């Protein structure tokens, strides 16, 4: 199954590689679920899927609990009339005015994901979605993929929470896969620029610590990140696997090059 959302760093293409490192387990836990690509391509009895993006988690819960209503409302947004710059900004303002749990906001989240520039998900300091219009000719409505997600999600629990809380809810026998905000390829040792993304070096260190502690509790933990000296130092107590990954979300096709990543298995 394929994810119905565009997502920076989505794991659809490399999910078979990630799965090849899994031990046996009944529940997959993802503290950074993103588009849910790995969830959709695994077959666990249970899932605990978390993220700090409340709009994303409410979308998933609404799709799980009210699939027909949400999919119908979303389909109504995918029209020629709504694929104009003027209408895009009207609908973006509407999205920013709604309460997170509303089904209409979840429908608009999917609309924005497909119509905004490069499929990015970004908010300003006031918490307003602020990605500009993407100028796509005919954004496709992912109806079948949304139904697939809704069906699979009956085995999942979705929570909006910090990764540390999610780790505290894990139990022996779980498999934990972490796809955190990556350390930038151009980051300096001080992480000056990286800290603006609200996931700084301290949190990267905490994540590695939680992964190591989980291993001692009988919980396998796997983390993806860029292949850098600093990440190899962070995951020094894990087994490291290297891979090259194509970047498809760059705005220019000439910038879509393969970059080095690692999979750290604790």
- pLDDT tens, N- to C-terminus, the chain (266 residues): 999 999 988 888 899 999 999 999 999 999 999 999 999 999 999 999 999 999 999 999 999 999 999 999 999 999 999 999 999 999 999 999 999 899 999 999 999 999 999 989 999 989 999 999 999 999 999 999 999 999 999 999 999 999 999 999 999 999 999 999 998 887 544 444 433 457 888 999 999 999 999 999 999 999 999 999 999 999 999 999 999 887 655 445 455 578 899 999 99
- Residue 95 makes CB contacts below 8 A (sequence gap 6+) with 105, 108, 109, 112, 129
Pick the closest to residue 163 from 47, 34, 30 (CA basis).
Answer: 30
Burial degree of 124 (CB within 10 A; 0-12, 13-18, 19+)? exposed
Q: Which two tokens stand for residue 213?
A: 């502690």
Tokens 């992964």 identify what position?
211
Q: How far is CA 212 from CA 111, 179, 208, 209, in A?
A: 39, 16, 6, 5
pLDDT attached to residue 40: 97
Predicted model pTM = 0.90
The answer to whether 258 and 244 have CB atoms below 8 angstroms apart is yes
User: Distance between CA atoms of 232 and 225, rounded to whole angstroms?
Assistant: 9
CB-side neighbour CA atoms (13 Å) of 222: 18
Residue 195 is predicted with a pLDDT of 38
């Amino acid at each position: 199954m394929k994810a119905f959302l565009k997502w920076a760093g989505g794991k659809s293409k490399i999910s078979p590689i990630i799965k090849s490192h899994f031990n046996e387990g009944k529940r997959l836990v993802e503290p950074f679920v993103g588009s849910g690509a790995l969830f959709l391509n695994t077959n666990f009895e249970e899932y605990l899927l978390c993220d700090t993006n409340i709009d994303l988690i409410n979308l998933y819960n609404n799709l799980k609990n009210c699939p027909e209503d949400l999919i119908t409302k979303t389909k109504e947004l995918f029209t020629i009339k709504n694929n104009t710059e003027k209408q895009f900004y009207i609908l973006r303002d509407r999205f920013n005015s709604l309460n997170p749990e509303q089904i209409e906001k979840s429908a608009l989240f999917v609309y924005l994901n497909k119509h905004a520039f490069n499929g990015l998900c970004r908010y300003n300091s006031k918490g307003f979605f602020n990605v500009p219009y993407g100028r796509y000719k005919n954004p496709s409505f992912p109806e079948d993929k949304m139904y697939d997600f809704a069906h699979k999600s009956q085995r999942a629990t979705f929570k909006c929470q910090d990764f540390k809380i999610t780790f505290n809810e894990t139990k022996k026998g779980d498999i934990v896969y972490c796809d955190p905000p990556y350390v930038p390829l151009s980051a300096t040792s001080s992480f000056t620029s990286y800290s603006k993304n609200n996931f700084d070096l301290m949190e990267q260190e905490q994540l590695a610590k939680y992964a190591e502690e989980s291993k001692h509790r009988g919980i396998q933990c796997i983390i993806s990140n860029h292949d850098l000296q600093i990440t190899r130092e962070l995951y020094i107590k894990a087994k490291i696997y290297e891979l090259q990954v194509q970047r498809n979300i760059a705005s220019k096709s000439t910038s879509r090059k393969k970059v080095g990543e690692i999979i750290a298995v604790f």
